[in-house]
Structure 1
Amino acid sequence: MQVLKITPRGYCHGVVDAFRIAKRVREETHGPVHMLGMLVHNTHATDDLQRQGIELVDQPNRLAGLEHIKEGTVIFTAHGVSPQVKQRAVELGLTPVDATCSDVVRTHELVADLARKGYEVVYIGRKGHPEPEGVVGEAPGRVYLVQDPEDIDALELEGDRIAVTC
C-alpha cells in the first residue's frame, strides 16, 4: 500500500476562527488576556499564543481554571464551555470572549433543546476532554457522557425519550 501525505495540512474552520479571535483580542485589549485551557490541542500553537501575551490557564476543569484568573479577559476555547462557566466568568468580573467552534455551538444548542423537550441525552465523547465537559454542562442530570461500552451498561435512563449524539 502506498501512503501519500497531503500537504499542506491545515486546521479545521473552528480552530482557524479561534486563532483569529485570540489574536484579535490580544491586539485590541489593554490588560491581561487569558485562554481557559489550550485554545486547541496543539502545544506549538499554544506556545505561540503565549509568546504573544495570552496566558494559558490549564486546570482539570474550566470552573476550577476560572478561579485562577483575577482580572482581565478570558477566552473560551474552540471546545466550548458550559453555561455555568460563562456565568462564573461574569460573576468574577472578567470579560469573556467565546471562541467556541460553530459546530460545537450547534451541538450545545441541540443538547439543550433536547433536554428542554424532556429527552435524556447520551453524549458520546472522551472523559476528561473539555468538549464533553461543556456539552454535559448544558443540562446537568439530563446528559450522560459515554466513552466505552461499559458506560452504556452503567446507564440508568428513566424514560423512553432518549437521544444520542456526539
Structure 2
Amino acid sequence: MTTRPRDSGRARLYEAERLVHHMFDRAASNRTVQIAGTELTLPVEAHFGSVASVRDYVDRVLAMPSVRARFRRAARPVRVRERRGHRSAEYLRSGDADPQIAIPSSADGRWALRELVVLHEIAHHLDDSSGPAHGREFAVGLTDLVGLVLGPEAGFVYRVVFGDSGVV
C-alpha cells in the first residue's frame, strides 16, 4: 500500500465544510440563500436515524448512473459500520480489500448522521488520486459528488466556499 503525501489542507477543508454545514443549518426554515451575488434555493439535506439507513443511502448513491459515470470507484462496494466514540466519522481504505465507512451513532455522535458528512466519506471512497487525503483532487471530487447527488445549487455552494477558502 502506498502512503499519501502529507494532508496539509485538512484543517482548511474542514473549516470550509463547517461554513457549508452552517449555511444548510441556517437555511432549514427558509431554503433561499444568497452566495457570490447569486440567490438560490438549497436542497433539503437528509438526516439519518441509524447506521443501517446510512448503509442503504451509500448503496443508493454508489448505484446512481451519474455517480458511476463520473467516478470509476463507484462500482466498488464499501462497507458501512458503526464507529465507537463520537468525535469523527472516517473512511478506512485498507488496501483495496474491505473499504469501510465508520459512522458514530451514539447520542453525542449523531452530528455525523447527516447527508453532507456521509457524502464526505463517500468522496473518500471515490477518490482514486494519489494526492493528500483532503487535497485538491478530493475537494473537486467532493464538490462534483455533492452536485450530482444534491443538485447543482449545492455543488455551486461547495465551489464558491471551497474557492474562497483556498481549498481549490
TM-score over 0.5 for the alignment? no
Larger RCO (CA within 8 A; separation ≥ 6): 2
TM-score computed with the length of structure 1 as normaliser: 0.25
Which structure has the bigger radius of gyration? 1
Greater fraction of residues in strand = 1
